[in-house]
């Protein structure tokens, strides 16, 4: 195996010290660098061409990717892409990080010394204080959904902020997506209980209000054509069985919530949830 393949198997990057400990000699590292198949950033980060730009920026800045930026890199559901990169910076670091959102607080756990990506607990802790409560809850529940953490672990961590402690006591595994988290809790504030991932006619529906009002949520990415057809066919079967189905997409939930809220409230006012 060459160094490029070794890096690729690790996600595309590694600390130079990790490469040396794995048996790569300085001579072989320099050979790989001269070939341009392996690159080096800030003298200590070895990586293949084309790795994540945000990780590369964190390496260059001598910091760690954290908060919503790390959440995106980890594949978590994020309400909206951040305008600027969020980096964890040492409280007394003298580097100019003015073009980034710099998080200088100490996280609940020690970050890995050879990673440009912050520890999961620190990522969630910074999300808790950086975003509105419901947006942060959606990210926390996304981490649970992807099994990157467990409820028991979140409740056992000694969180240092009230916001993080509140999220640790509230976050659960019922939501299948961040949109679900937002909608369920927004409806709860209106006194409407929505059950999540309820099996009906052979498929789980996103939300069920009462016995007959189904709420389906389409994420930011468009479904594949076959999946979309299956969803619409299931909607038809639900309607023929006497259910009312309201389907909303990402833009409606995120940018037009007052309209969504009015339509759901109107359906409840017409007793469509119990008809």
Choosing from 132, 150, 170, the residue where a domain stops is: 170
Same domain, 103 and 140: yes
Same domain, 165 and 185: no
Same domain, 33 and 65: no
SS3 labels along the chain: CCHHHHHHHCCCEEEHHHHHHCCCCHHHHHHHHHCCCCEEECCCEEECCCCCHHHHHHHHHCCEECHHHHHHHCCCCCCCCCCCCEEECCCCCCCCCCCCEEECCCCCCCCCCCCCECCHHHHHHHHHHHCCHHHHHHHHHHHHHCCCCCHHHHHHCCCCCHHHHHHHHHCCCCCCCHHHHHHHHHHHHCCCCEEEEEEECCEEEEEEECCCEEEEEECCCCCCHHHHHHHHHHHHHHHHCCCEEEEEEHHHHHHCHHHHHHHHHHHHHCCCCCC
In a domain, 100, yes or no: yes
In a domain, 101, yes or no: yes
Same domain, 60 and 136: yes
* pTM to 2 decimal places: 0.87
In a domain, 183, yes or no: yes
The whole domain housing 15 covers 3-51
Q: How much of the chain, in percent, has pLDDT values that exceed 70?
A: 96
CATH number of the domain that residue 196 is part of = 3.40.960.10
- When divided into structural domains, the chain yields a total of 3
pLDDT in tens, 68-83: 999 999 999 999 999 9
Same domain, 12 and 112: no
Rounded mean pLDDT, 82-92: 88
Q: Is the pLDDT of residue 225 over 80?
A: no
In a domain, 9, yes or no: yes
Same domain, 47 and 60: no
Choosing from 114, 138, 170, the residue where a domain stops is: 170
Same domain, 76 and 14: no
pLDDT in tens, 93-123: 667 778 899 998 888 999 888 999 999 999 9
Q: Is the pLDDT of residue 155 over 60?
A: yes
In a domain, 93, yes or no: yes
């Amino acid at each position: 195996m060459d160094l490029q393949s070794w890096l690729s198997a690790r996600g595309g990057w590694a600390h130079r010290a990790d490469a040396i400990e794995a048996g790569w000699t300085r001579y072989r590292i320099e050979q790989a660098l001269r070939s341009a198949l392996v690159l080096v950033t800030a003298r200590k980060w070895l990586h293949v061409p084309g790795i994540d730009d945000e990780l590369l920026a964190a390496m260059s800045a001598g910091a760690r990717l954290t908060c919503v930026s790390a959440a995106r890199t980890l594949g978590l559901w994020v309400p909206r892409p951040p305008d600027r990169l969020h980096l964890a910076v040492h409280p007394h670091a003298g580097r100019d990080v003015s073009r980034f959102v710099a998080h200088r607080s100490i996280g609940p756990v020690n970050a890995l010394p050879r990673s440009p990506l912050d520890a999961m607990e620190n990522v969630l802790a910074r999300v808790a204080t950086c975003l509105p409560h419901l947006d942060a809850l959606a990210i926390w529940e996304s981490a649970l959904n992807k099994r990157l953490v467990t409820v028991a672990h979140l409740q056992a961590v000694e969180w240092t902020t009230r916001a993080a402690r509140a999220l640790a006591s509230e976050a659960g595994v019922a939501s299948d997506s961040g949109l679900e988290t937002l909608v369920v809790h927004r409806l709860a504030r209106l006194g409407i209980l929505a059950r999540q991932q309820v099996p009906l006619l052979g498929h789980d529906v996103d939300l069920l209000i009462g016995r007959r009002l189904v709420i389906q949520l389409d994420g930011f990415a468009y479904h594949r054509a076959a999946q979309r057809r299956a969803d619409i066919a299931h909607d038809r079967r639900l309607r023929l069985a006497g259910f009312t189905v309201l389907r909303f997409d990402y833009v409606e939930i995120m940018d037009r919530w007052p309209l969504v809220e009015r339509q759901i409230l109107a359906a409840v006012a017409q007793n469509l949830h119990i008809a």
